[in-house]
Amino acid sequence: MSPALLMTRRWVQLLLGLFLYGIAISMMLRAAIGISPWDVLAQGISIHTGIPFGFVTNIVGGVVLLLWIPIRQRLGVGTVLNALLVGPSAEVGLWLIPEQTVLWVRILLFVGGLLLLAVATGLYIGARFGPGPRDGLMTGINAKFGIRLWIVRTSLEVIVLIIGWILGGDVGIGTLAFALLVGPLVHFTIPFLMVPAALTKPESPSVPSATQ
């Protein structure tokens, strides 16, 4: 594959993945049976401030990037675009997808959103332009302090989940399903969609096998 074609593939993967990630979040929001911990936090903040969910997602992503500074985590272009684009694409999804009242439709919408999120994660992480803000915070804390990765991830998600729940975010069976299933799903999609490291420039940021 020529360098120009490879770079085109990587950019298409990155931008498509980030757009689909936001759409997947909106699908799970509309399902209203529970959402991911970070989305619970964003939804809770949105409820109390009146700021649209997608823009709260951007704000939270920006705050998380500020936390990269003391742990000296390296930014990638994919990291910045993740913080900027996922929120607006979620707003597009919320505009396109109406609220649902039938339970089986909501369940299907959630399942579809979770599967789409796994594919979207594989696309944007597989492009090798850098991890998302939350993943970078997780791996940065792990690298700086030597705390096991699963402990860092679990602690962060429990903290944001509790805060979001207190603020009125949607915690439900979908939250538990997300916690149990997203790991195995992205464990499959990330390697499948990953651009081979040998084809990319040596300076391309490394990427973790986790979400957002």
What tens digit of pLDDT does each residue of 172-194 get?
999 999 988 988 898 899 899 99
Q: What is the pLDDT of residues 19-58, one digit of tens each?
A: 999 999 999 999 999 999 999 999 999 999 999 999 999 9
**CA dihedral of 46, 49, 54, 60, whole degrees rounded to 10:** -90
Residue keyed to tokens 């402990």: 151
Exposed, middle or buried: residue 37 (CB in 10 Å: 0-12, 13-18, 19+)? Answer: buried
For residue 203, what pLDDT is reported? 45
Neighbours of 146 (CB within 10 A): 7
Predicted pLDDT of residue 2: 81
pTM over 0.75: yes
Q: What is the DSSP string of 42-68?
A: HHHHHHHH---HHHHHHHHHHHHHHTH
Kindly report the backbone phi and psi dihedral angles of residue 51, in degrees, each rounded to the nearest multiple of 5, phi listed first.
-75, 135
pLDDT tens for each residue of 76-121:
899 999 999 999 999 999 999 999 999 999 999 999 999 999 999 9
What pLDDT, on the 0 to 100 scale, is given for residue 209? Answer: 45
Rg (CA), the chain: 17
Return d(Cα 109, Cα 152) in angstroms, integer.
30
Q: Determine the Cα–Cα distance for residues 140 and 29; give it in Å rounded to an integer.
A: 29
- The sign one gets for the Cα dihedral 185, 92, 208, 123 is positive
Q: For residue range 114-138, what is the model confidence (pLDDT) as tens digits?
A: 999 999 999 999 999 988 898 888 8
